[in-house]
Structure 1
Amino acid sequence: MNRVVRFAVSFQFLLACAGVPAQAPPTQPPARVQTAAVVQAEFAPLHWAPGTVASREDARVAAEIGGRVVEIAEVGSAVRKGEPLARLDDAEFRLRERQARADLSRIQAQLDLVRKQEERYLTLVRDGVISGAQLDQVIAERRMREQDLDAARVALEQARLRLRQAQVRAPFDGIVVERLVEQGEYLALGAPVARLVNTGALEVRTRAPVTLAGRLRPGDGVTLRVAGRSSAHRLDVVVPVGDEASRQLELRFALTPDQAAKTGLAVGAAVQVGVPSDEPRRALAVPRDALVMRKEGTHVMRVAEGDVAQRVPVDTGAAAGDLVEVRGALRAGDRLVVRGSERLQSGQRVSVADGGTPAAVAATARPRP
């Protein structure tokens, strides 16, 4: 019995010494990724300048008449075009309007009487009872009464206009950001009532050296940078006159409500604007999502032959929309991982979910004649 036990133990020892491998763990499945291609894009050297977000509709709304303020909108309240911002005491204007209506009714009655008198005089002249001179006098009086009636109508319209002007109305949709007068104060003719700003009509205003006046045109591309994120835009206004003191000219471009919401920009926000300062050059570009930034540097994950991830260090340059200029061991057409690269290791097999989506080319400058 002892021999059998010793044999079994010896057999197990020999198997262990022979290095018979245990069952291998299952192979890790390929990582699913999305890709985009390296492209050639145009990048122009940029002159960076500070800019400010402003509203295209920003007004200190003034009163057209003078009077005591009885109502005024609260700061922060939203008003629609045509709605009242403030109301002045209109008691005097209502009295004037009533007086004008009474004058109009009186003159209308006088004119009706003269017209009837003219009809009677016409009959009497035909019958030879009175002379034509008397008829001429009645006709002249009727014409004067007609002129008086026109003047009374104008006076009534003026009274009604003053009554309407007692309410200072919003010239556009906006937010009341400042009250320039308070309830109970007397408002002089033409004095501002409140500052009204349309927060849905935003634009960026910046300045560039006057030496770029011959190069910049409406429609040229510019880059807006906010909190480290960049976006591409087109110039709407290039004021071709430089300031004598600063030697700079003003540039403007619009922000859609969606763009303002995505960037969190509001009126008065400070931004950086990149303005093309030279002719564009062609360079390799990759989507911004392809860049993996680490402490040791920036790299991209290229899908090499056999669908294997390969780490490629790169240096970044200018940006044009969602594309970023890169310098490194890349060629146009290389497939780069844009989704799923966070935990991807060099040498790991991948499964491309989209078959390689080419990146869109974003131009930063319009070709010049």
Structure 2
Amino acid sequence: MDQASTTQEREWIRLSKQLRDNERIWSGFRQIEVRMIGSPSLPDLIDIITLGIPETFPGIDCVTVACADPEYEMTRLIEAGGAPDSGARSFVAIPRETLDGLFTRPWRPRLGPVDERLHALLFSNHPCASGSVAVTPLVRRGELIGSLNQGSRDPRHFIPGIATDLLEHLAAVAAMCIDNSINHERLKLDGLTDPLTGISNRRFFERRLAEEVERWARRAGPLVCMLVDVDFFKQVNDQYGHQVGDRVLRQIASLLGQDLRGSDVLARYGGEEFVLLLPGTTPVQGAAIAERLRSRIEHSAFVIPEGIDLDVTVSIGMACLQPGVDSYGPDPAVWLFKQVDAALYQAKEAGRNRVIQAVVS
């Protein structure tokens, strides 16, 4: 084999190894992202970030999360839910002015050797951050809320000039999940979350309905409301017990919650009824969404512990407030919900497992 062929073979081997390494890295990032997005609470999320990243990526020896926490809200939540040797020891409540001093606009990761000040600030419980660190800003809704900090014993693991796309992407997902977790915990503390399904409860829905109807009255666009009822749910409880019924309700809540926008509302209205509020959605769009939800539930697998598949369907009533219409009476919110309730009744009377849209004369 001549020298040129040998050089080509070595280059091919190098590129193949690089591709395998890149795929492994991307696979690890995807796994961490999925776990973060599915985390049930803020303490679990911090554990996934601070313990999961070192477990997934060789060369990263420790991870901490620092956030501005002036009211110690996050600190209390993490201490209340974290085990003594969990990721709770890796959360740092950092003063706002200190956080602002870590980065300059545009906010970009800081990579390089660790100095005593940075170590004391972000890695005080982690002597393993002795070689190099990556300090990546956590930004949510245009605001710097904290930093994701990774440390290595290797002085050359994080060096200035290397690509930071993956670090920034992971930090963006982490910031979103932290923000969502805090909001979820606030809802629970305010008594606005259904304890069984983890989604909003009737009280929260009624509050949001009043807000959205007020916004609609200012000509903010159409407002769709849906009422979803699980067909023959009493038979599930009677035949298989309430534990199976609870599992069905939790799964339906999860299925209904897929693909919702940030402005949408999903709540458990009571018993086996769920309600959705979709601002800025036309009747045609709402009907398509309702049909998609109905079909999704009909074709989903509901498996009870004995391994039996349950056939679960829902009936959906839907109505819409249209912009520029003044014929909804003195209380459009009451009118809207009466129409939704009547449409749901028609869907059940017509044989269930269907969507009925209120027809307004």
TM-score tier by shorter-chain length is under 0.3
Structure with the bigger RCO (C-alpha within 8 Å, sep 6+) is 1
Return the TM-score normalized by structure 1.
0.23
Computing the radius of gyration from Cα coordinates, the structure with the larger value is 1
Return the TM-score normalized by structure 2.
0.24
